[in-house]
Amino acid sequence: MFFLSLSLSLSLSLLSCFSFLIFNPSLSLAEESITISTYYPSPYGVYNEMRAKRIAIGDTYFDGAEMPWEAEDADGNPIDLNADLVVEGNVGIGTTSPNAQLDVFGIKPEIRLTTSAQVGGTDRNWAIGNATNPLPHGTFGIYSGATEGSTILDQVRLVIDNSGKVGIGTISPGYRLEVRSASAWNTSHAIARFGDIGFQRSLEFGESFVSDSYSYIQARSGSTGVNDLLLNPYGGSVSIGTTSSYPYKLAVNGQPAAVGYTAFTNISDARLKKNIEPLDNGIMGKILKLKPVTFNYNEKTKYDEEVLSRRLRGFIAQDIQKIFPDMIGEIEIDNKTYLDTNLTNLQVYLVKALQELKLEKDAEIAELKLRIQALEAK
């Protein structure tokens, strides 16, 4: 083992000595341990800096003749001309036993990237870790600040806490993924968007404070265009205002509204229909057999308390089944089959019944007119 006693007055720096001893191909290659220190007592104490033009560390780079730097760009030598530090193996910062290519250890380890003030006119610090601010213990964060050492908790970009929850715009996510806007907005504001690489098709989630406060989901085409939104296109149901799942394509707990319209529409062009036949007569008699009732739903429906307490008007499915079986379907609740009703056809039957009533009354009126005429002729 070599021991060199040097004072700071020597012009040869520590790393220059390293470079000469390790990379000079004229020396015989032998593995040595070198300790460089000041001799105590020394006029100046310990060395306060080390300098080298470039350093290669590792067994692969030990032989300078076998692993030289490029003299010119792309001249065939193995170490790139622009590489100032080449390290084989793991690098430890704050640890003597690194377990990764870069292992940063400490109470609050942090990696910081700082842009020059020439970019945008202000220094920007991007940090990865849990250091500058008191983030919750075990939280990984990406955050930024305008100046060195600034308080940047209000500029958190992303955190992953020790339970695996991810927060964007918050340091304490309460869900697996929680995204918050940077501040309160007085206009419509998109918080998140998911789409293809060019955002030709995307799904936008946002909030608005223009007049009424609300959240929204919008399908987009391009940056600001709109697109069609499909819900469960491959099957399944959609429920609104309820946590229960029903075997209907759309279940709405509450009063729906067709704003500016009076009903849902459907295709009705004759060119798009076939097997067209008139309804049979005798509908009026069937209509008269219907039994309108008032009722409340019971708890087996799993409706909420508001619906259960509401007094409703309608029909009993078993009664309708005897008269208009086409308006009756089946539904399963807790693996038990019940009947439901589809009253869409009822309006058609009512129109037909009204027509039958008119024909009947027209015939009666015509007969009465003939009787009156006969009486007047006497």
Contact in structure between 253 and 246 (CB atoms under 8 Å): no
Q: What pLDDT, on a 0 to 100 scale, did the predictor assign at position 133?
A: 55
CA 323 to chain centre: 50
Task: Single out the residue of 6, 34, 7, 3 nearest to residue 20, CA to CA.
Answer: 34
Contact in structure between 284 and 353 (CB atoms under 8 Å): yes
Q: Is the pTM of this model over 0.85?
A: no
The Cα 259–Cα 274 span in angstroms is 32
Q: What pLDDT, on a 0 to 100 scale, did the predictor assign at position 253?
A: 82
Q: What pLDDT, on a 0 to 100 scale, did the predictor assign at position 53?
A: 86
Q: What is the distance in angstroms between the CA of the first residue and the CA of the last residue of the chain? A: 151
Task: Single out the residue of 94, 52, 54, 89 nearest to residue 70, CA to CA.
Answer: 54
CATH 3.30.1450 fits 238-349, yes or no: no
Q: Which amino acid is at 370?
A: L
Residues with pLDDT less than 70, the chain: 1-48, 114-127, 130-137, 143-156, 182-188, 209-212
The Cα 39–Cα 3 span in angstroms is 10
The Cα 149–Cα 151 span in angstroms is 7
Contact in structure between 194 and 202 (CB atoms under 8 Å): yes
Q: What residues contact 23, with CB distance under 8 A and at least 6 apart?
A: 56, 64
Q: Which amino acid is at 191?
A: I
Phi, psi for residue 19 in degrees, rounded to 5: -60, -40
The Cα 67–Cα 25 span in angstroms is 10
The Cα 81–Cα 307 span in angstroms is 77
Task: List Cα–Cα distances, 26 to 21, 56, 187, 279, 347, in angstroms.
Answer: 10, 18, 73, 109, 104
